[in-house]
Amino acid sequence: MNIIFLGPPGAGKGTQAQIVCQRLGIPQVSTGDMLRAAIAAGTEMGRKAKEYMDQGQLVPDEVVIGIVRDRLADADCQKGYILDGFPRTVEQAKALSTFAKIDVAINLDVPDDVLVKRLSGRRVCPLCGAPYHVDRLNGETVCRADGTPLIQRDDDKAETVLNRLAVYHQKTAPLIDHYRAEGLLKNIGGGLSLEEISEEIFRTLEAIQ
Ligand code: AMP
Ligand code: ZN
């Protein structure tokens, strides 16, 4: 199955995508992770992308569309994938439909006040990308999977978080109506725990298989 995870930054797309991908044995295709990998590798594309990312702005459509088109052509994507953080604009969604057949778009719906708290408390493993939250870390400072010291992403700092939410409402939220019109939208409401959201996602996926 080819799945899109929609939702604002901090909705838990990455965390849920990781859980679902592990259970289904399909790859998680995260444009944010791929862009951060390009930055870490010091490529020209990474250097340009970082300027947008540090301000909480979107990286230009043609850049991310190219990255995703290449990645979805890889062998491991042929039996399904979860797109996490792509598409983020209607333009990206239109381009995606020319090279991929999407089965479902799962929208994780979370109110803004919750998002701000989540994003500013978020810590990530710079090695494997695993996300954590200070409230659930009990003082631990390293990744549970590989022992790497956790960091705060530059774009999770307070000023950038507000920008990212504004950009989300302006450019990405219209995708909810876009995929609803295509009959592909499944909405999963806020106010649920991480575990409840995973269960809700699995129920939704089973129902459409
Ligand atoms: P994420 O890890 O998904 O929160 O993405 C982090 C940042 O990477 C975003 O704030 C954007 O600057 C950039 N980014 C990730 N995915 C996209 C996308 N599909 N289109 C444009 N920019 C993106
Ligand atoms: Zn790790």
State yes or no: pLDDT of 91 exceeds 90: yes
The band of 148, judged by pLDDT with boundaries at 50, 70 and 90, is very high
Strand, helix or coil for residue 170? helix
Cα within 13 Å of Cα(16), Cβ side: 30
User: What pLDDT, on the 0 to 100 scale, is given for residue 180?
Assistant: 98
Q: What is the pTM of this model?
A: 0.90
Q: Which residue's C-alpha comes closest to atom 12 of ligand 1? A: 53
Q: What angle do CA 175, 179, 180 make, to 5 degrees?
A: 110
Query: What residues contact residue 126 under an 8 Å CB cut-off, 6+ apart?
Result: 40, 148, 149, 150, 151
Q: What is the structure's pLDDT at 199? A: 95
Task: Look at the block and give the residue holding tokens 């959201």.
Answer: 197
Question: Which class for 3: exposed (0-12), middle (13-18), buried (19 or more C-beta within 10 A)?
Answer: buried
Query: Which of 81-90, 152-161, 179-188 bottoms out in mean pLDDT, i.e. has the lowest?
Result: 152-161
Active site residue: 36, 123, 164, 186, which one? 164
Q: In one letter, which amino acid is 93?
A: A
Does the Cβ of 93 fall within 6 Å of ligand 1? no
**pLDDT-derived band at 32, boundaries 50, 70, 90:** very high
